[in-house]
Amino acid sequence: MANLVKIVKKMLEIPSDMRFNEVVVVLQAFGYECGRTSGSSHFVYRKKGCHSITVPKENNKVKKCYLKKIIFHLNLEEWYEKKMR
C-alpha cells in the first residue's frame, strides 16, 4: 500500500515522465482490468459499473492529458488526502 501511495503522489504532480507500468499499478489497485489490445498501443481498462479508461503507451510513458483523466475518474486527489490523514 505504501508503494501505491507514492505512485499516486507522483501521479498527482502530473509529471511528463510517468511510466506506463506505474499507471497500471494504480488502475489495478482500483479494480480495473485490461481489456483487449490486439496489437494497438492503446490499452483499455474496465471496471464493472465505471467508465472505461483508455491509456495509450508511447515509449513506456503516459501523456499528461491521460494522467489528468485518470486522476479525475478515480478521484485520486480525495483518495490521497484520506490516506495522508
DSSP 15: -
Q: Across the chain, what does the average pLDDT equal?
A: 93
pLDDT tens digits, residue range 18-59?
A: 999 999 999 999 999 998 777 788 999 999 999 999 999 889
- Which grid coordinates belong to 66? 491521460
Give CATH for domain 2-83.
3.30.920
Q: Any idea where the domains of the chain sit in the sequence?
A: 2-83
DSSP 13: T
Of the chain, the percentage scoring pLDDT greater than 70 comes to 99
In three-state form (DSSP H/G/I as H, E/B as E, the rest C), the secondary structure along 30-79 is CCCEECCCCCCCEEEEECCCCCCEEEECECCECCHHHHHHHHHHHCHHHH
Q: What is the pLDDT of residue 37?
A: 72
Q: What is the pLDDT of residue 67?
A: 96
Q: Which amino acid is at 6?
A: K
Q: What is the pLDDT of residue 22?
A: 96
